[in-house]
């Protein structure tokens, strides 16, 4: 088994003669202590914390940073001067929650491009043509960062963006002849079902949770294993990526420390499922200490078959309102004839609009949705997908209006 390309990237980026677990942890402790010292010196958001820790296990004694902290005090967490800030990303948490803002410097974005390139180099080769199906939102947007990483590998990005219709995607596949895809998982499966794989052979998915049924559906149609990636705004998009072993995603451990905690905030041992908590030591503009991501996963106990010392996380799921859409994804995307669906609450019932390949099998879709959400009344409207249909979610999938319950 070939070792993960991330190993070489971490070793080169950090100037390490060898990369083993001791080297990774020494790097993390040094990064964490440098961050604590900087915070202490500037009297910033984290200045009440100790100026240094004796060991990585002491990290568990520090308080958490929550999404509410980020919304209330985001700009107070910024470690660099305003003139060094390149980009501010704003995201509302839920429909009523306050907006949280995450700040980046050019260096933060360059680090992400180089991490993306290392992860993508497992499936994108010189001369490859890569469909980039992520939002293009101006300089240093996500689509732009991925495209820069693709170009750095000697490959060509096909800047597709998000929200293209079935007909437009079909034309791009035929005209541009891509061999690789980078984008969200459910729209990839929908495209493969409607347009066929064409020249596409390999894919990396990110930007949304990927259910097992979507993963299996994509792999069956592409004829190759999928490369899932995990990232968030707080990790400047790049957090963890799959290696050729396809057994979990290796964490970007030179730039972040990951912990898994239970509901009470106790750190869980390797192998146990809980909430992912990250300390982003490698981010210059806005490093976070023990940030509760709201994402649920586990850190594998066993070493990866690729022998990388970098820890791996499992498939990422959600809890609370975010969990229901994942249950529906799991149940409905396993149906061969279903292309895409949108779900929302209407009072206490869930209304689903489904797009199908052939004549809609409404009863079959309804039965699967009821098995997924047995507590709720489910109503399904299905119709045949046409060339002008676009993905029913432009971004992250969610069961909308959940607070109406």
Task: Catalog residues that contact Zn ion under the rule CB under 5 A.
Answer: 4, 243, 245, 304, 306, 308
Shortest Å distance, C-beta 134 to Zn ion: 24
What is the C-alpha separation between 31 and 37, in angstroms, rounded? 10
Q: Toward Zn ion, which CB reaches closer, 246 or 290?
A: 246
Rg (CA), the chain: 21
Shortest Å distance, C-beta 309 to Zn ion: 10
Q: Toward Zn ion, which CB reaches closer, 59 or 304?
A: 304
Count CB-CB contacts under 10 A for residue 395: 13
Q: Toward Zn ion, which CB reaches closer, 248 or 322?
A: 248
Shortest Å distance, C-beta 6 to Zn ion: 8
What is the C-alpha separation between 287 and 307, in angstroms, rounded? 29
The answer to whether the beta carbons of residues 200 and 178 sit under 8 Å apart is yes
Please name which of 216, 233, 234 lies closest in space to residue 225, comparing C-alpha atoms: 216
Which spans in 259-377 are helix H? 321-332, 362-372
What is the C-alpha separation between 136 and 68, in angstroms, rounded? 28
Please name which of 143, 124, 145, 121 lies closest in space to residue 134, comparing C-alpha atoms: 143
The answer to whether the beta carbons of residues 229 and 208 sit under 8 Å apart is no
Shortest Å distance, C-beta 303 to Zn ion: 8
SS3 content of the chain, % helix, strand, coil (to 5): 35, 20, 45
Do the bridges between strand 180-183 and strand 129-133 make them parallel or antiparallel, or are there none, so unpaired?
Answer: parallel
Shortest Å distance, C-beta 12 to Zn ion: 18
Q: Toward Zn ion, which CB reaches closer, 27 or 243?
A: 243
Shortest Å distance, C-beta 310 to Zn ion: 8
Q: Toward Zn ion, which CB reaches closer, 218 or 304?
A: 304
- The answer to whether the Cα torsion of 381, 384, 385, 388 is positive or negative is negative
Shortest Å distance, C-beta 395 to Zn ion: 29
Shortest Å distance, C-beta 304 to Zn ion: 3
Q: Toward Zn ion, which CB reaches closer, 308 or 398?
A: 308
The answer to whether the beta carbons of residues 338 and 328 sit under 8 Å apart is no
Quick one: tokens of 400? 């909308």
Shortest Å distance, C-beta 259 to Zn ion: 20
Residue with the two structure tokens 């609450």? 345
Please name which of 289, 293, 218 lies closest in space to residue 257, comparing C-alpha atoms: 289
Q: Toward Zn ion, which CB reaches closer, 278 or 304?
A: 304
Q: Toward Zn ion, which CB reaches closer, 67 or 242?
A: 242
Please name which of 183, 305, 188 lies closest in space to residue 243, comparing C-alpha atoms: 305
The answer to whether the beta carbons of residues 131 and 178 sit under 8 Å apart is yes
Q: Toward Zn ion, which CB reaches closer, 148 or 251?
A: 251
Quick one: tokens of 387? 């060339």
Q: Toward Zn ion, which CB reaches closer, 202 or 390?
A: 202
Shortest Å distance, C-beta 297 to Zn ion: 16
What is the C-alpha separation between 324 and 371, in angstroms, rounded? 12
């Amino acid at each position: 088994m070939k070792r993960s390309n991330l190993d070489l990237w971490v070793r080169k980026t950090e100037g390490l003669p060898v990369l083993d677990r001791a080297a990774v942890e020494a790097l993390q402790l040094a990064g964490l202590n440098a961050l604590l010292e900087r915070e202490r010196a500037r009297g910033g958001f984290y200045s009440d914390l100790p100026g240094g820790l004796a060991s990585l296990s002491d990290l568990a004694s520090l308080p958490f940073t929550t999404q509410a902290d980020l919304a209330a005090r985001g700009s107070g967490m910024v470690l660099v001067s305003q003139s060094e800030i390149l980009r501010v990303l704003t995201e509302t948490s839920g429909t009523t929650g306050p907006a949280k803002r995450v700040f980046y410097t050019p260096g933060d974005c360059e680090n992400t491009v180089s991490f993306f390139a290392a992860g993508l180099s497992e499936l994108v080769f010189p001369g490859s043509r890569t469909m980039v199906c992520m939002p293009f939102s101006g300089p240093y947007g996500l689509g732009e960062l991925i495209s820069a990483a693709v170009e750095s590998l000697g490959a060509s990005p096909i800047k597709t963006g998000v929200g293209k219709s079935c007909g437009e995607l079909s034309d791009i596949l035929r005209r541009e002849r891509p061999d690789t895809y980078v984008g969200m998982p459910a729209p990839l499966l929908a495209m493969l079902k409607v347009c066929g794989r064409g020249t596409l052979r390999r894919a990396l998915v990110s930007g949304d949770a990927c259910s097992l049924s979507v993963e299996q559906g994509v792999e069956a149609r592409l004829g190759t294993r999928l490369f899932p990636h995990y990232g968030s705004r707080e990790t400047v998009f790049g957090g963890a990526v799959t290696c050729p072993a396809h057994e979990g995603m290796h964490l970007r451990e030179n730039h972040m420390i990951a912990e898994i905690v239970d509901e009470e905030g106790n750190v869980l041992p390797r192998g146990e499922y809980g909430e992912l908590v990250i300390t982003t030591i490698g981010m210059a503009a806005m490093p976070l200490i023990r940030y509760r991501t709201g994402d649920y996963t586990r850190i594998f106990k066993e070493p990866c078959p690729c022998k990388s010392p970098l820890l791996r996380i499992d498939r990422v799921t959600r809890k609370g309102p975010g969990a229901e859409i994942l249950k529906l994804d799991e149940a409905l995307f396993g149906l061969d004839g279903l292309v895409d669906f949108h779900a929302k609450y209407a009072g206490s019932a869930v209304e689903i609009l489904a797009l199908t390949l052939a004549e809609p099998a409404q009863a079959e879709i309804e039965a699967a949705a009821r098995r997924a959400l047995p507590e709720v009344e489910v109503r399904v409207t299905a119709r045949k997908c046409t060339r002008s249909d676009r993905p029913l979610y432009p971004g992250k999938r969610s069961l909308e209006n959940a607070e109406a319950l």
